[in-house]
Amino acid sequence: MKNIKKALFLAVIGAGFMAPVQAEEVHMIMCGGEIREADKAVIADFEASHAGVTVNAEAVPWGTCQDKSMTLAAAGDPVGLAYIGSRTLKQLGRSGLIIPVDISEEKQALYQPGILATVSDGGQFWGFPHAFSTKALFINCGLVEAAGEACVAPRTWTGLYNMAKAVNDNTSAAGIGITGKDFDNTMHQFLNYLYSNGGSVSDAATGEITFNSPEAIETLEFYGKLAGVAQEGPTGYERSQLTQLYNDGQIGMYINGPWGAGQHNANIAEIVVPIPAGPSGESGTLLITDSIAVFKGSANEGLAMELAAALSSGEAQYDLDKSWGLTPILQYEKMRDDVYYTTDYWQVFVDPIGRGGPEPMFEDFKALQAGINGAIQGMILGEGSAADLVAEAAEILAEGL
């Protein structure tokens, strides 16, 4: 049975390598500053099966890689493919800088719910999803118990706030870590709360901005309330800095992805629990992906498309998800007998997938970030009411859609 499943797996979404071609180079940009071993293995196999073909895989930090990819394309010197945030795909596609990708119906059926919404616009797919994460709440039980509280999962925002306030008031640590820096994961942190309160940013079907809503106002007010029991100066922090604060025992809890456990000090007694539900919703999560896009007009567009499909297919994708500690992007249990995400820890990240909301696709993705981050920063700094800040953000979002 296992061999049959594996054969079917490879047949449906196999790498699809072609016969050798003449000496050529495929230029690839990999956002994040490193190339994972699973991707290196695919690239090595690709080069081995394509005589004379070299893949120039360039690792570029997140802060500059997306702008670099766009700048090269706009200047008429595009890379062949790039691993980038899916939030950029709508702008790249509508600007004519990338080409649609073909994802078979069989493979579409294997993706986790909501994944393809992160790469879809105008009835086409603009990238191969290649990395996926959901989020959960990490809680330092040592600090919670030192504050006189039981270390159990808070199910509501009220329970979350009360636990954070207890840590803040009764220990030397802040109750919770929140982000407020002008960075994409500030918006991401907020969207975890928004989706857990029944809110949304836009209507995927109509394109209408839905952010100016009671749910969003309620969420922003709560985020501002959390700032009162959070680390000092939240506007100076993004998520990776919260991880360090957590390791140093300076915050009692924060939201992170499934890789979080591997980043935390072994001496921290912690629990990992679903993001608590807001008063207008149920526990949810942000569904965020990064994808491989194929750029239009590169010297080896066909090879770039083939490599992109290989990197995101079959055993290659499974190896990447497992080794990196990512939420499974495909329903691998339909393809193989053994999967890595069967533990209670993993279920905290897998269970909410169907209740999650995707990172919105905007033609001007920087306007998306600026609008939501501006509201968050304004709330933290006391620069307006939640209702006014949400309304202002909605106007910015409407311009960027």
Per-residue model confidence as pLDDT tens digits over 72-108: 999 999 999 999 999 999 999 999 999 999 999 999 9
Claim to verify: residue 323 and residue 392 sit in the same structural domain:
no
How long is the chain? 401
The number of beta carbons lying within 10 Å of the beta carbon of residue 78 is: 24
Residue 401: the pLDDT is: 81
Q: What is the CA radius of gyration of the chain?
A: 22
Residue 206: the pLDDT is: 86
Query: What's the CA gap between 256 and 182, in Å, rounded?
Result: 18
Per-residue pLDDT band at 16 (split at 50, 70, 90): very low
pLDDT exceeds cutoff 50 at 19: no
Claim to verify: residue 258 and residue 323 sit in the same structural domain:
no
Domain assignment of residue 81, given as a range: 2-133+288-358
Claim to verify: residue 262 and residue 233 sit in the same structural domain:
yes
Kindly state the tokens that stand for 40.
């290196």
Per-residue model confidence as pLDDT tens digits over 326-371: 999 999 999 999 999 999 999 999 999 999 999 998 999 899 999 9
Claim to verify: residue 264 and residue 377 sit in the same structural domain:
yes
Claim to verify: residue 20 and residue 140 sit in the same structural domain:
no
Claim to verify: residue 206 and residue 126 sit in the same structural domain:
no
CATH code for the domain of 237? 3.40.190.10
Claim to verify: residue 292 and residue 390 sit in the same structural domain:
no
Claim to verify: residue 147 and residue 127 sit in the same structural domain:
no
Claim to verify: residue 256 and residue 186 sit in the same structural domain:
yes
CA 316 vs. chain centroid, Å, equals: 19
Domain total for the chain? 2
